[in-house]
Amino acid sequence: MDKFIILATKNEGKIREILDILSEYRSWIKTLKDLNLDIELPEELGESYEENAFIKARYIAELTGYPVIAEDSGLEIDALKGELGIHSARFGGSVGYKEKIRLVLEKMKDIPWEDRKARFVCKAVFYDEKEDIKIITGGKVEGYIAYEPRGERGFGYDPIFYFPPLGKTFGEINEFEKNKYSHRFMAFNKLKLFLECFYKGGKL
Ligand SMILES: O=P(O)(O)OP(=O)(O)OP(=O)(O)OC[C@H]1O[C@@H](n2cnc3c(O)ncnc32)[C@H](O)[C@@H]1O
Ligand SMILES: [Mg+2]
């Protein structure tokens, strides 16, 4: 098959979740790894999740000529206004997530539960240069920053994101559960509606 969509992300955690959400379309989707495209994505200098998702999508679309899916996401913490959000991946510099999490918790050590509100946000983009299509969908999930990390599942900031409806952090729930409630699920589930029309209309 020479027609496919490229998934433009380097984050293995995202890839797992997105391929699972879009599992019906798995045979149409190629990751950068599937294509042996060992390249860096461009700097995410946009001012919003949408802009950054589009920067990544456009870069790969221009490079390959194929339709592309990309996303940009982040953790917004009310008490640390503006520090994470679209800067979540860069927060704390080039250190691992154990250290980023330690830094967040250190900054929030005196903050009481009611002021620990946070949300994960995701914007997903489908971009097809040839067909002149740009679709953006979004998702959000509300929770709290836990007092300490719990669970080893998921990726990134999952161990400190406490999700009240399940009484657990995202680090404690399995992929099946995360893909029922997450910001990424919501964004990509909406994008799926579009892919359904596009795919069923034989457009790909
Ligand atoms: O740009 P790409 O290659 O897609 O991968 P990335 O990891 O750099 O991704 P972003 O630029 O979108 O930054 C997202 C940040 O938000 C964090 N994040 C996003 N969704 C998350 C989730 O579901 N669980 C935990 N952390 C998440 C993630 O760890 C990053 O620090
Ligand atoms: Mg990134």
The DSSP symbol for 154 reads S
Check pocket membership of 69 for ligand 1, CB cut-off 6 A. no
For position 113, what pLDDT does the model report?
Answer: 98
Amino acid letter for position 6:
I
> What residues of the chain score a pLDDT lower than 50?
none
For position 62, what pLDDT does the model report?
Answer: 96
Number of domains in the chain: 1
For residue 40, give the CATH number of its domain. Answer: 3.90.950.10
For position 204, what pLDDT does the model report?
Answer: 65
* Cα-to-centroid distance, 41 and ligand 2 (Å): 8
Q: Where are the alpha helices (DSSP H) in the chain?
A: 12-21, 49-64, 97-107, 175-181, 183-200
For position 196, what pLDDT does the model report?
Answer: 87
For position 202, what pLDDT does the model report?
Answer: 72
Instruction: Give the H/E segment covering residue 68.
Output: strand 68-77
- Tell me how far apart the alpha carbons of residues 193 and 160 are, in angstroms, rounded to a whole number: 31
pLDDT tens track for 7-47? 999 999 999 999 999 999 998 999 999 999 999 999 999 99
The dihedral over CA atoms of 118, 178, 50, 32, expressed in degrees to the nearest 10, equals 140
For position 200, what pLDDT does the model report?
Answer: 75
pTM, rounded to two decimals: 0.96
Q: Is 60 helix (H, G, I), strand (E, B) or coil?
A: helix
Amino acid letter for position 27:
S
Amino acid letter for position 172:
E
Residue 187 CB coordination number (10 Å): 27
Burial 131-140 (b: 16+ CB within 10 A, else e): eeeebbbbbe
For 29, the token pair is 């989707």
87 is in an annotated binding site: no
For position 99, what pLDDT does the model report?
Answer: 98
Whole domain around residue 110: which residue ranges? Answer: 5-200
**Catalytic site residue 2?**
no
CA 184 to ligand 1: nearest atom = 23
